[in-house]
Amino acid sequence: MTNTGRSVTDERRTDTRQQIRIVAMELFAEQGYDKTSLREIAERLGVTKAAVYYHFRTKEEIVGSLFDDQLAGMDEIVAWGRTQPPGPQRSRDLVERYAAHLAGSGVNPHMVRFLQENQTAVKSLTSAAQMRARFVELTELLAEPDASVTALLKTRLALVAVHFGTFAKDDLPGTQEERRAAARQVALELIGAAAAEDGMNSQT
């Protein structure tokens, strides 16, 4: 009976922690990171500030926890990519894995807007710097060894396409799955263009 009680309590704590993160990102996206307080997060969630403080002592901890979740998924993708031989197949598989990661990992849709509109705040977060490093590693794995600047840019744009297709709502028509499928197609076309760019450069 005691174990059952602990299980229910743990689930409630986990749910509250997740709800805090969702609401916080909504407010950060709506009114800016600097203008949002823990009190406002608590008020929108309908809990006391102490309840928020139990899980997160600062706004930085909230954002850091979201980045940490994504870092784990990115690390798995990068680690897998390093075990595969370079080439078009690895690049395509990496795009598919990254798209599946964004679609299935519960990435907060407000996170992209937060990153775009709160650059100053993001720069001070260690986890954000680690995310940028993983993003660079992934784009390098998508390209051929000694890739040109043009090819590297195309691999980065491929990942941006996956992001946009995953989180775009009113910006694009169609269902969420249709937008994601279109984004994967665009990303794969960019990867193919990057490989062709490298092929042309190797022949000159």
Domains of the chain, by residue range, sit at: 1-57, 59-203
1-57 carries CATH number 1.10.1740.10? no
pLDDT, tens digit, 9 for 90 and up, residues 160-200: 888 888 776 667 787 878 888 898 999 999 988 777 765 65
pLDDT band at 11 (very low <50, low <70, confident <90, very high): very low
The model's confidence at residue 203, banded by pLDDT at 50, 70 and 90, is low
pLDDT of residue 7: 44
Nearest to 166 by CA among 126, 112, 91: 112
Q: Give me the architecture of the 59-203 domain, per CATH.
A: Orthogonal Bundle (1.10)
DSSP annotation of 170 reads T
Query: Rounded mean pLDDT of the chain?
Result: 81
Task: Give the per-residue pLDDT at 49.
Answer: 93
pLDDT the model gives residue 111: 67
DSSP 8-state secondary structure symbol assigned to residue 144:
P
pTM of the model: 0.71
20 or 118, higher pLDDT: 20
Question: Can you list the alpha helix ranges (DSSP code H) found in 86-148?
Answer: 88-104, 110-117, 119-123, 126-142
Residue 10 has pLDDT above 70, yes or no: no
**Measured between alpha carbons, how far is 148 from 157 in angstroms, rounded to an integer?**
14
Closest CA to 50 of 40, 59, 39: 39
DSSP string, 41-64: HHHHHTS-HHHHHHH-SSHHHHHH
Q: CB neighbours of 82 closer than 8 A, spacing ≥ 6?
A: 141
- Per-residue pLDDT at 157 exceeds 60: yes
Q: pLDDT for 96-107, tens place per residue?
A: 999 888 877 555
- Under DSSP, the state recorded for 187 is H
Confidence of residue 19 (pLDDT cuts 50, 70, 90): very high
Give 45-96 pLDDT, tens digit per residue: 999 999 999 999 999 889 888 888 788 888 999 999 999 998 889 999 999 9
The confidence score (pLDDT) of residue 112 equals 63
Q: What is the pLDDT of residue 130?
A: 83
Buried b (16+ CB within 10 A) or exposed e, 153-191: bbbbbbbbbbbbbbbbeeeeeeeeeebbebbbebbbebb
